[in-house]
Every structure is written in C-alpha cells, then in structure tokens.
Amino acid sequence: MKIQKHIEIVRSTTPGLSSIGETSCRSVYNLLRSIYATVGITILNNEEDLAAFVARQPDLVFVGMKFVPRDENVSVWDSPKIWVTQYLDEHNIAYTGSGFVSHALELDKSLAKQRVLSAGLLTSPYSVIRRNATESSDFDKLTYPLFVKPTNRGGGLGVDSNSLVHSPQALQLKAQSLSDEFNTDSLVEEYLPGREFSVAILKDEFAEGNFLLMPLELIAPINKRGIRILSDEVKSADVETFIAVPQGALRQSITALALNAFHALGAQDYGRIDIRLDGSGTPHFLEANLIPSLLDGYGNFPKACLLNAGIDYKSMILRIVRLGLNRSKTGKVILPDLEPALFPSPSLL
C-alpha cells in the first residue's frame, strides 16, 4: 500500500528559473509515485501560478526552483523576486531542502562568499564588477591571475577558457562578455590553483544534528590553454573525472569547511558545497548549490552519495523527502545574526 501523502514537485518552464531539469523532475516523479498516494508536477512561472498551487495544500513540496518574478515585463534576474520557500512558509506548507534566505545567499555568489567570510571561514579574496562597468580600478588589491564568472548563474554557465585572466584588459573583456551574454555582474576572485572538490551533505534522519559528509574530487580535462576548468562545456558533457577522497587530514579539512559553510548559509537537510585548494593545499570555499542536480548517474550529488555511502538514487530521493516531511510545517528558517548589509536588500526581495 502506498503512503497516504500528497507530494508536488515544482519547477518552471521559464528559462533560468528551474534548478532541476525536466528529465530529473520526471525521474523524481516516477520514483515518488511508486511510494506515495498522490504525486504531481506543478509548473510555476509567475505569482498567479504560485497562489493557485498553495491553495491545493500538498503535504510536501519537492522544491526544484528558488523564486518566481513579480514583474513579468522585465528579465527574471531584474524583477523583484517571490521566494518559493518563503511563500510556502507563509502558508504552512512543508518543503524539501533549504529556506529562502539560504537560496538568496546561494543565488548571489558574492553574498555567499561574504557570509562565509563573516563566519570566519576561508574563501579566495574577491570583488565584483557591475554589469556594463567601464573600469576595474577596484581590483588593485587582488593578485593576478584572477578568475571571472557570473555572480548569479550555476552549472558552469559563463565559465570557459577565458575565465582565467592575467591582465586588466583580459579581465574587462571577460566581464563585458558576461554582461553582454547574461546581463549579469561578474564575480572576480584570486585564482586558486589547487585541486577541486564537491562535498555532498545529507542530514542524518535519526541522529539530530548529524550529517553525512561525502566529498568527491573533480578533475576536468585539460583545455586548449593547458589548464583544468569545470566549464559549462565540461559540465554539460559530463566529462570531468570524479574520484573518492581517501580518509585522512585532507578529507577532514575539506568536509569540515563544507559543513561549516553549509551552516553559515543557514542551509537545511541537503546540498552541495564546492571547494578548491590554494597553492599551499589549504581548502577554500568556492560556492554552494542547495538545489543540486539529482539526475541519476549525472549530478555530483548522487555520485557522491553512491560512492561515499552506498546510497543509491532511490534511497537518496526518499531520504530527502522524509527529511522534508519530518520537519515542522511552521518552522521558518532565519539567520538572526545575518548582517543587514548582506540580506535582505531591495535587489533580492
């Protein structure tokens, strides 16, 4: 007999809004409907969709997106945002994963880095070039080479062989290309030349406060410039190599940083933290992904679960769902010590 719960998976057909793709969404749907009595997929593209959706009062929302725009007459990135999990909190509907504050921090990589720094954790020195800026004089304190990527895109979007820059001219060219193509600001950080890792984090269902920490080392192929970059092209083709991280001091330092960053961002239940080593082998926070790809055999989160803990795809998805169902419907996620300068801000709300 199926479990008598109503679960809805939410995603969007508006480009840029969904954090999980259609194939991944369908895989989750097929799995859940074999276990739970009522499972559906709801498309949320605007505020009207969201209002109609919450009126149905599902027992749990499997979250596959962070926000919908308030203003459909401008781009989704320029519009004021309605954060999906905040809206669900206000209507006392349970959901998977993190709350809206964490999603807002994750969405802006510079805010996430500042939050991590405020928690006393390591991340590479950085600054931001606002879109269409004509100069980069604020970068005198950063040491070349620098790495340039969009502040608000994931999945390697905007990252290519030109992302590693060695001069102000190359920096400005890359930042302008990101502004032109994605209409976004550019995060500029000192390049970390060491190995790269992705740590999947999954809450323990039975031991309060405990988490499974499951790291992978990611090795991109060498590109035409002789460097390894997890670019959009590499991630889309899924050609990076992933290997287990053996027990020892390095694994301990990587997973400790990942968990501390996860907590600093106010994250819940599950997510992924990316880390890279500097030239001396010290781990630094890169970025977070709190709605990581859950496509079986593709995403780093499922790979890490299987390789580190023997948790297969079905077990992984069902654990994420149970964690959401077990959470109090009225429990709202806040960061009471969050600096006002970081969040909230008119540009995020």
pLDDT, average across residues 334-346: 41
Q: Does the structure show a pLDDT above 60 at 344?
A: no
| Length of the chain in terms of residues written | 349
When the candidates are 3.30.470.20, 3.30.460.10, 3.40.50.300, 3.60.20.10, the CATH number that belongs to 104-122+192-326 is 3.30.470.20
Tell me the H-state helices in the chain. 22-33, 47-54, 84-90, 100-107, 109-118, 168-182, 232-237, 249-264, 300-309, 313-326
Q: What is the DSSP string of 82-122?
A: EEHHHHHHHTT--BSS--HHHHHHHHSHHHHHHHHHHTT--
Cis bond before residue 344 (omega within 30° of 0): yes
d(CA 44, CA 40): 13
pLDDT tens by residue, 232-270: 777 777 778 899 999 999 999 999 999 999 999 999 999
Percentage of residues in the chain having pLDDT higher than 70:
91
Q: Does the structure show a pLDDT above 60 at 23?
A: yes
From residue 140, how far is each of 120, 125, 169, 235 by CA, in Å? 24, 12, 13, 32
pLDDT for residue 279: 95
d(CA 289, CA 200): 10
Q: Does the structure show a pLDDT above 90 at 137?
A: no
pLDDT for residue 140: 74
pLDDT for residue 349: 33
Q: Which of 36, 37, 85, 43 is nearest to 63 (CA)?
A: 85
pLDDT for residue 161: 87
Residues 42, 48, 50: CA angle, nearest 5 degrees: 45
When the candidates are 3.30.1490.20, 1.10.460.10, 3.60.20.10, 3.20.20.120, the CATH number that belongs to 126-190 is 3.30.1490.20
Roughly what angle, to the nearest 10 degrees, separates helices 300-309 and 313-326? 100
pLDDT for residue 138: 63
Say how many Å lie between the first and final Cα of the chain, rounded: 43
Q: Pull the structure tokens for residue 43.
A: 């498309």
CB 88 within 8 A of CB 150: no
pLDDT, average across residues 14-18: 90
Helix (H, G, I), strand (E, B) or coil at 58: coil
pLDDT, average across residues 329-346: 43
pLDDT for residue 89: 95
pLDDT, average across residues 167-179: 93
Q: Which residue has the higher pLDDT, 84 or 333?
A: 84
d(CA 60, CA 41): 12
Q: Does the structure show a pLDDT above 90 at 39?
A: yes
Q: For the chain, how big is the Rg over CA atoms in Å?
A: 20
d(CA 113, CA 343): 13
pLDDT for residue 234: 72
pLDDT for residue 4: 96
Q: Which of 306, 287, 245, 324 is nearest to 115 (CA)?
A: 287
pLDDT, average across residues 95-122: 96
Q: Does the structure show a pLDDT above 50 at 223?
A: yes
pLDDT category at 134 given cuts 50, 70, 90 is: low
**Residue 92 CB coordination number (10 Å):** 13
Average pLDDT taken over every residue of the chain? 89
pLDDT, average across residues 122-133: 90
pLDDT category at 146 given cuts 50, 70, 90 is: very high
pLDDT for residue 332: 47
d(CA 217, CA 235): 14
pLDDT for residue 328: 58
Q: Pull the structure tokens for residue 220.
A: 């991109």
**In the chain, where the domains are located:** 3-95, 104-122+192-326, 126-190
d(CA 89, CA 201): 23
pLDDT category at 214 given cuts 50, 70, 90 is: very high
